[in-house]
């Protein structure tokens, strides 16, 4: 297992290098100039040249990339071109709201979606199955931004139950913080909840048709024991895989949600950096998201061994 984990970590380093290289040159190919974003369109050529040299943007692209990469290896993500702040500090300051909303959304999607899928499979063909399946299909089809706007209109402007926008840290006021993150988390987690429900239903239906399940029923074993002791463990692996693919949404999946609810999180920082061509900030955010994706996949692979002891890694 240790050798397998080491191999996967080495793969992650290669992926990080390739992705950072691709994004760096892709962002440089976009139209626009970050220097003009700072100085404005009325800046003189002398001012533009001076600031370009100060920021090091006059150097060849390979030199800029390897200079940035050398700093990353030493733990320095660089300084923002637009804000002139340390990128690591900017990410740390913006990360708590994103993590709060993302983790809350992930927990809701798992603890609601998976039981709904199992219930739909057990009650296949009944009204419960029909209701859950229809609701899941509907939830998957609704765009997040539209659902967020609808939620603001209904629960904030009309009923006045929840705040319209913003974020409050749970260390400042836990109850107010819960009210602020409840609607963004529900909106972010709704589609994931629906996908998990459909996957759990499909996996459970496949398992409960197996011969050993029919044998257990013929022996008079109670339905609850059959479902939770015999069927669930074998049906849960595809669900765990899918949930693992959703884990990176905790860090990078709330770009649209943070815009709709005016939350200064990591997603909004990344979007602003792309528009401003603040390449250093974009690279720093992408590194964090890529590491999260790689670690989530590794965590899922390791969990297989504990869910099903027959699975071994060499």
Q: What is the pLDDT of residue 171?
A: 85
Write the pLDDT tens digit of every residue in 188-231.
Answer: 888 888 988 888 888 888 888 777 777 877 877 787 787 777 77
Q: Write down the mean pLDDT value for the chain.
A: 82
Decide if pLDDT at 313 tops 60.
Answer: no
Decide if pLDDT at 311 tops 70.
Answer: no
List of residues 6+ apart from 126 with CB closer than 8 A: none
How far apart are the C-alpha atoms of 29 and 214, rounded to whole Å?
61
Write the pLDDT tens digit of every residue in 174-200.
Answer: 888 888 889 998 888 888 889 888 888
Structure tokens belonging to residue 191: 């589609």
Q: Are 63 and 25 in contact (CB under 8 A)?
A: no
User: In which band, very low, low, confident or very high, does the pLDDT at 14 lie, cut at 50, 70 and 90?
Assistant: confident
Phi-psi domain of 210 (left: phi exceeds 0; alpha: psi -120 through 50; beta: other): beta
How far apart are the C-alpha atoms of 213 and 185, rounded to whole Å?
37
How far apart are the C-alpha atoms of 64 and 173, rounded to whole Å?
44
Average pLDDT for 29-41: 72
Decide if pLDDT at 314 tops 70.
Answer: no
How far apart are the C-alpha atoms of 277 and 31, rounded to whole Å?
9
Strand partners, 79: 86
Task: Please write down the HEC assignment for all residues of 238-269.
Answer: HHHHHHHHHCCHHHHCCHHHHHHCCCCCHHHH
Decide if pLDDT at 95 tops 60.
Answer: yes
Which structural domains are found in the chain, ordered by start?
93-258 (1.10.3720.10)
Average pLDDT for 291-304: 79
Q: What is the pLDDT of residue 127?
A: 87
Decide if pLDDT at 131 tops 70.
Answer: yes
User: In which band, very low, low, confident or very high, does the pLDDT at 310 lie, cut at 50, 70 and 90?
Assistant: low
Write the pLDDT tens digit of every residue in 97-113.
Answer: 888 888 888 888 889 98
């Amino acid at each position: 297992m240790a050798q397998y984990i080491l191999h996967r970590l080495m793969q992650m380093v290669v992926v990080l290098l390739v992705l950072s290289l691709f994004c760096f040159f892709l962002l440089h190919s976009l139209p626009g100039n970050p220097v003009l974003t700072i100085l404005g369109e009325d800046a003189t050529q002398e001012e533009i040249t001076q600031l370009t040299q100060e920021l090091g943007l006059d150097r060849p692209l390979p030199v800029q990339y390897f200079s940035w990469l050398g700093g990353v290896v030493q733990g320095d993500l660089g300084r923002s071109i637009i804000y002139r702040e340390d990128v690591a500090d900017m990410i740390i300051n913006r990360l708590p709201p994103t993590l709060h909303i993302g983790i809350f959304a992930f927990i809701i999607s798992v603890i609601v979606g998976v039981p709904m899928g199992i219930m739909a499979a057990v009650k296949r063909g009944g009204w419960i199955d029909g209701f859950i399946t229809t609701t899941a299909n509907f939830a998957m089809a609704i765009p997040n931004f539209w659902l967020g706007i609808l939620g603001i209109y209904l629960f904030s402007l009309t009923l006045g139950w929840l705040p319209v926008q913003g974020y409050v840290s749970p260390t400042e006021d836990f109850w107010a913080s819960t009210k602020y993150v409840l609607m963004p988390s529900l909106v972010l987690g709704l589609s994931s909840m629906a996908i998990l429900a459909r996957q759990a239903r499909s996996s459970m239906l496949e398992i409960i048709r197996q011969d050993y399940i029919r044998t257990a029923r013929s022996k008079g074993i109670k339905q609850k024991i059959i479902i939770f002791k015999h069927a669930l463990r074998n049906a849960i692996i595809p669900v765990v895989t899918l949930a693992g693919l959703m884990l990176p949404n905790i860090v990078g999946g709330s770009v649209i949600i943070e815009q709709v609810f005016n939350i200064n999180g990591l997603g909004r920082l990344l979007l602003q950096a792309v528009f401003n061509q603040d390449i250093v900030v974009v690279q720093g955010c992408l590194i964090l998201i890529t590491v999260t994706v790689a670690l989530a996949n590794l965590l899922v692979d390791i969990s297989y061994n504990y869910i099903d002891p027959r699975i071994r890694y060499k």
